[in-house]
Amino acid sequence: MKKNIIFTFAFLLIAISVTAQIDRSKMPTSGPTPTISLGEPTTFKLGNGLTVLVVENKKLPRVSISLSLDNPPNAEGEKAGIGSIVSQIMGKGTKNISKDAFNEEIDFLGAFLSVNVSGGFAQSLSKYTDRIIELFADAAIHPNFTQEELDLEKKKLIESIKAGENSAEAVANRVRSVLAFGKNHPAGEYATEKTINNITLSEVESYYRANFVPSNAYMVISGDITSDKAKQLAEKHFTPWTGGKAPSFGLPEVKDAQYRQINFVDMPNAVQTEMAVMNISDLKMADEDHHAALVANYILGGAFNSYINMNLREKHAYTYGARSNLARYKNYKGTFRVTTKVRNIVTDSAVVETLKEIKRIRTEEVDAEVLKNAKAKFLGDFILASEKDRTIANRSIKIKTEKLPKDFYETFIAKINAVTKADIKRVANKYFNIDKARIVLVGKGSDVLENLEKVTFEGKNIPILYFDKYGNKTEKPNYNETIPEGVTAQSILDNYFKVLGGKDKLEAVQSTFYTAAASMGGATLNMITKVTAKNQTYTDVLFGGNSVSKNVFDGTKGYQVVQGQKKEYTTDEIADAKKEIYPFPETKATEATLEGIEPYDAGKAYKLKMSDKKTTYFDIKNGLKIKDVLVQEQGGQKATTTITYSNYKEVQGIQFPYTISIAVGPQKFDFIVSEIKINEGVTDEDFK
Contact criterion met (CB below 8 Å) for 54 and 225: yes
In the chain, helix, strand, coil percent, each to 5?
35, 30, 35
C-alpha span between 97 and 100 (Å, rounded): 8
Write out pLDDT tens, residues 358-390.
999 999 999 999 999 999 987 888 888 877 766
- Provide the angle, in degrees to the nearest 10, between the axes of the packed helices 99-109 and 129-141: 150
Instruction: Answer whether 660's CB lies under 8 Å from 528's CB.
Output: no
Report the pLDDT averaged over residues 22-39: 54
pLDDT digits (tens, 9 = 90+) for 174-232: 999 999 999 999 999 999 999 999 999 999 999 999 999 999 999 999 999 999 999 99
C-alpha atoms less than 13 angstroms from C-alpha of 210 in its C-beta half-sphere: 15
Percent of the chain with pLDDT over 70: 93
Given this model, what pLDDT does residue 442 score? Answer: 97
Distance of CA 178 to the CA centre of its chain: 17
Q: Find the radius of gyration of the CA atoms of the chain.
A: 30
550-589 pLDDT per residue, tens:
999 998 999 999 878 899 999 888 988 888 888 999 998 8
In this predicted structure, the answer to whether residue 333 has a pLDDT above a threshold of 80 is: yes
What SS3 class is residue 250? coil
Q: Which residue has the higher pLDDT, 145 or 397?
A: 145
Which 3-state string (H, E, C) describes 644-673?
EEEEEEEECCEEEEEEEEEEECCEEEEEEE
Tell me the C-alpha distance between 257 and 280, whole Å: 9
Res 576: pLDDT: 84
pLDDT confidence bin for 18, thresholds 50/70/90: very low
What angle do the packed helices 147-164 and 82-89 form, to 10 degrees?
130
422 contacts: CB under 8 Å, gap ≥ 6: 365
User: Which residues lie below 8 Å from residue 477, measured CB to CB, with a gap of 6+?
Assistant: 266, 445, 446, 449, 466, 599
- Give CA separation, 84 vs 114, 154, 171, 580, in Å: 14, 10, 19, 46
Query: What is the residue-wise DSSP string for 202-236?
Result: HHHHHHHHHHS-GGGEEEEEEES--HHHHHHHHHH
Q: What is the pLDDT of residue 9?
A: 32
φ and ψ of 505, to 5 deg? -65, -40
Whether 322 contacts 309, CB under 8 Å: yes
What is the CB neighbour count within 10 angstroms for residue 413?
A: 20
Least confident of 74-78, 176-180, 274-278, 383-387: 383-387
Residue 344: the pLDDT is 92
Cα 552–554–556 angle (5° rounding)?
Answer: 120
For helices 368-385 and 290-297, what crossing angle results, to 10°? 110
pLDDT at 22: 46
- Condensed to tens digits (0 to 9), the pLDDT of residues 428-446 reads 999 999 999 999 999 999 8
What's the pLDDT tens digit per position in 497-519?
999 999 999 999 999 999 999 88
User: Tens digit of pLDDT for each residue in 131-183?
Assistant: 999 999 999 999 999 999 999 999 999 988 887 887 899 999 999 999 999 99
Residues with Cβ < 8 Å from 606, sequence gap 6 or more? 483, 487, 492, 594, 596, 597, 617, 618, 620
What integer best gives the mean pLDDT of the chain? 89
- Is a pLDDT exceeding 90 seen at residue 274? yes
607-622 burial: b if 16+ Cβ within 10 Å, else e: bbbbbebbbbbbbbee
Residue 242 φ/ψ, nearest 5 degrees: -125, 165
In this predicted structure, what is the pLDDT of residue 35?
60
CB-neighbour burial class of residue 437 (10 A; exposed 0-12, middle 13-18, buried 19+): buried
- Whether the predicted pLDDT of 244 surpasses 60: yes
pLDDT recorded at residue 226: 95
Question: Tens of pLDDT along 600-655?
Answer: 878 889 999 998 889 999 999 999 999 998 887 766 667 788 899 999 999 999 99
Q: Max Cα separation, the chain?
A: 100
> Given pLDDT bands bounded at 50, 70 and 90, which one contains residue 10?
very low
- Residue 384: burial class (beta carbons within 10 Å; 0-12, 13-18, 19+): exposed
What's the pLDDT score for residue 378? 79
- Beta-strand ranges (E) seen in 327-429 are 334-343
Give me the amino acid identity at 409. Answer: Y
Specify the pLDDT at position 29.
Answer: 53
- pLDDT-derived band at 19 (thresholds 50, 70, 90) equals very low
Q: Tell how far CA 459 is from the center of its chain.
A: 35
Distances (CA, A) of 207 to 58, 65, 75, 80, 197: 39, 24, 12, 12, 16
Strands (E) in 267-378, as ranges, are: 272-281, 322-326, 334-343
Distance (Å, whole) CA 333 – CA 284: 8
Q: Answer yes or no: is pLDDT of 246 > 90.
A: no
DSSP lists the bridge partners of residue 531 as 512, 537
What is residue 36's predicted lDDT score, i.e. its pLDDT? 62
Between CA 516 and CA 527 the distance in angstroms is 5
Would you say 611 and 630 are in contact if contact means Cβ atoms under 8 Å apart?
A: no
Strand runs labelled E in 320-448: 322-326, 334-343, 438-443
Q: Can you list the positions of beta strands (E) in 459-613?
A: 460-461, 464-467, 511-520, 523-532, 536-543, 546-553, 558-562, 565-568, 593-600, 603-611
Q: Could you report the per-residue pLDDT of 84-139, keeping only the tens digit for each?
A: 999 999 988 999 999 999 999 999 999 999 999 999 999 999 999 999 999 999 99
Position 5 confidence tier, pLDDT thresholds 50, 70, 90: very low
Asked if residues 585 and 506 have their Cβ atoms less than 8 Å apart, the reply is: no
How far out from the chain centre does Cα 622 lie? 34
Residue 17 has pLDDT above 80, yes or no: no
| 299 pLDDT more than 90 | yes
Q: Is pLDDT above 80 for 248?
A: yes
